[in-house]
Amino acid sequence: MRQPTATRRSTPAWTLLITGAAGFMAALDNLVVTTALPAIRQDLGGALTDLEWTVNSYTLSFAVLLMLGAVLGDRFGRRRLFTVGLAIFTAASAAAALAPGITALIAARAVQGAGAAIMMPLTLTLLTAAVPAARRGAALGLYGALTGVAVAGGPLIGGSLTEHISWQWIFWLNVPIGLVLLPLARLRLAESYAPNARLDVPGTLLVSGGLFGIVYALVNGHAAGWSSVPVLSGLTVGTALLLAFIRHGSISRHPMLPMRLFHNRAFLGINAAGLLMFFGMFGSIFLLSQFFQGVAGYSPTEAGLRMLPWTGMPLLVAPLAGYLSDRIGGRPVVVAGLALQAAGLALFALMLEPGVSYASQLPGLIVGGFGMALYFAPAAGIVMSSVAPGEQGIASGANSALREVGGALGVAVLGAVFAARGGFASDRAFTDGTVPALWVGAGAVALGALAALLVPGRRATAPADTKNPAQSADDRVAQAPAAV
């Protein structure tokens, strides 16, 4: 049985720097394209469905392959697969920048998502293994803060590059960063493996086909007709394949996602909350970034700046969220964050109309941003502490996958609501479509807050033995042993 290989070259600081930078790039590319969508549409053409696929081709391939990436890393070496994923992501970023048409861009984004799916679940595993237990909470908090910075910077960086250079530079930006990280990963990360890791080809095919069928149907439902054969087939076959995937994870000896993990309340609650959070957040940002430019008349850079009270709040609130999580436990912080994010979207839906002033938009932006910041800081720690060290790779992959599934479904569902109730024909039509979509997003995030209540809270008594399966997730955050 192979064990993680420790080297003196691998230090917590280097591991945090390398994995944090890689995670930052992958998270950034979820949102960096949003403020560039009007420019891409003007330059390459395409309808609403093409814009949705520009976003969803990345998030969907990312979500579908994340768990496979985690298993490949466990089996063939986490550092090795991390560098493979980083190389694919870097090359696909260059291909996206060079795309001659919307179809080529969508294809490059799909490959980009595949590269991110290979490297992302391994970032938390590598980081958890490299950082001693006493400092792991702080390291994971910094990692989560970097993700928050990527969320904050996505619309602004995308808008600034689009306005002052060209939209292609939102992808060129990744290339030099990737080229620097590749040799550093080789020199400064320790190799590690998981015992008895196996590939699950049937599970991969089932979840890939199921997610693609459902997202395809949601994105194309309005244009093709919800009763059309392709759309009904996508929904029916996709749902059947996902149900088969759940059954496969329950009865197979070595599934890519063991359904028994969801018997743990902490794992079930934080994953359901993450899926619903990203559903509401990504779907809303997809529409609001276009509202700021198409209806409010802001330039790409101005749109990114005006979204900073929402997307940039993690920069200010993450330290407070980490402190609160250490003091009172992760559950109340996550629940409060999701409730505030839902309230922010609801405030936006109440005041959104053509000609609305920016001052009227600020309450929704600030409340939503504060809530998002509270969610990000403790979420990673809850996930990693809810499973045994040997399963942290697949747990990280599953959590990231479900969040990305939520993002893809959010863009598809809120886009479908927008198309059914409004459109691009006029400012009024755009607003008429966006408002009901925001209410759907707010409702999804509110359900996420309820789901987060499943996470066990911090006990008032002394911490239990770490081997006790009933121990709370918050207790295990403080006591989790170093992964070896």
Please report the pLDDT score of residue 196 as a whole number: 66
- Phi/psi class of residue 462: alpha, beta or left (left: φ > 0; alpha: ψ in -120 to 50)? beta
Q: Give 482 or 370, the one with higher predicted confidence.
A: 370
Assign 466 a pLDDT band (cuts: 50, 70, 90).
very low
Closest CA to 106 of 148, 45, 27, 65: 45
Q: Is the pLDDT of residue 248 over 60?
A: yes
Residue matched to tokens 């479509």: 433
Q: Is the pLDDT of residue 94 over 70?
A: yes
Report the pLDDT averaged over residues 157-171.
83
Q: Is the pLDDT of residue 2 over 50?
A: no
Inter-CA distances, 333 with 138, 296, 354, 376, Å: 16, 34, 35, 10
108 CB contacts (<8 Å, ≥6 apart)?
A: 92, 93, 95, 96, 99, 171
Q: Is the pLDDT of residue 311 over 90?
A: no
Assign 286 a pLDDT band (cuts: 50, 70, 90).
confident
* Lowest mean per-residue pLDDT among 112-126, 185-199, 465-479: 465-479
Please report the pLDDT score of residue 474 as a whole number: 45
Q: Give 282 or 96, the one with higher predicted confidence.
A: 96
How far is 157 from 14, CA to CA, in rounded Å? Answer: 26
347 CB contacts (<8 Å, ≥6 apart)?
A: 363, 364, 367, 368
Cβ atoms 444, 276 nearer than 8 A: yes
Assign 141 a pLDDT band (cuts: 50, 70, 90).
low
Amino acid identity of 232?
L
Residue matched to tokens 């839906």: 349
Report the pLDDT averaged over residues 379-387.
76
Cβ atoms 120, 147 nearer than 8 A: no
How far is 484 from 480, CA to CA, in rounded Å? Answer: 12
Residue percentage of the chain with pLDDT more than 70: 83
Q: Is the pLDDT of residue 140 over 70?
A: no
Q: Is the pLDDT of residue 343 over 80?
A: yes
pLDDT, averaged across the chain: 79
